[in-house]
Amino acid sequence: MNINDIKKVCVVGAGNMGHQISLLAAISGYKVSCTDISKEQLQKAEQFSIKYIQGRVKKGKLNEEDAKKALNNISFTNDMQEAAKDADFVIEAATEKLELKRKIFKQLDEIAPAHAILATNSSTLVSSLVADATERPDKVCNMHFFNPALVMKCVEVVKGSHVSKETAEVTMELCRRLKKEPVLLYKEIEGFLVNRILAAINKEAMFLLETGVATAEGIDSAVVNALGHPMGPFRLLDLTGIDLLYHISNESYKKTGDPERRPSPIIVEKYVKGEWGEKTGKGFYEYKK
């Protein structure tokens, strides 16, 4: 298969990442079917798509004709069979839980055409952990977008030892056609590139907060104004979701048994309280809904 064979994209998961990836592909000219088990999540995703497209038109970033095409390109369904049965490329963007992802990939392998590439948007779990749930491990890879997917340019594509050269090349080219700047990793490593670097920053920032050296606001200010980052680690955690870090840390701890991998007490407390960041109106900062 080559890049020109990709006509339809299926995105599994209509959450914050999934609905943005879906809309990105639709704007780029692909037919897209976004699927989720939650009808409420699908409704939110559809409403977001309409509002976003209308906003781009008002700002002069998109003309009326292209806006209409983009909205016509995208559909939402809670029927995975319907969404994936004729897809040429599938991107899974479900919750960061290995058991769930393995179940999804097994289903996708049975539903999607034999030529289809099955990619996971996981930010930490390498694709070899789900590839053996399918009969096409050579067509299973990581394709990790960053939040917000409609804005962030980088996409990490991971070519594990099970991934064919063709799969990696097609996935890289698809990223470029979505107007992204893909980076190819030649081997699997937990956390990939960016999140490994971020993890080191977050660990030190959390230590400084927990030991009372500075406030979250103070640490964020220092990182922005001294290091030139667009936002500090705590503001970024609010954006990406404290619940996501909680689940990722627990998965890492379960896998390694290393107590250093457990979520910090502050993250556990905020997860239990439902203070997950922007999505809930409160994290390290408070947000107006």
211: phi then psi, degrees, rounded to nearest 5: -90, 5
DSSP secondary structure of 198-252: HHHHHHHHHHHHHTTSS-HHHHHHHHHHHH--SS-HHHHHHHH-HHHHHHHHHHH
In angstroms, rounded to a whole number, what is the distance separating the alpha carbons of residues 161 and 142?
Answer: 12
The alpha carbon torsion through 63, 68, 69, 72 (nearest 10 deg) reads 160
Q: Which of 92, 96, 156, 251 is catalytic?
A: 156
Of 167, 178, 162, the C-alpha closest to 73 is: 178
Q: Which of 49, 121, 122, 123 is catalytic?
A: 123
Q: Would residue 269 show up in a list of annotated catalytic residues for this protein?
A: no
| Helix/strand/coil for 122 | coil
Q: Would residue 123 show up in a list of annotated catalytic residues for this protein?
A: yes
Q: For the chain, where are the E strands, in sequence order? A: 8-12, 31-35, 74-77, 89-92, 117-120, 140-145, 154-158, 181-185
Q: Which of 144, 202, 249, 251 is catalytic?
A: 144
Q: Which of 127, 195, 249, 252 is catalytic?
A: 195
Q: Would residue 49 show up in a list of annotated catalytic residues for this protein?
A: no
Q: Would residue 195 show up in a list of annotated catalytic residues for this protein?
A: yes
> Active-site residue numbers?
123, 144, 156, 195
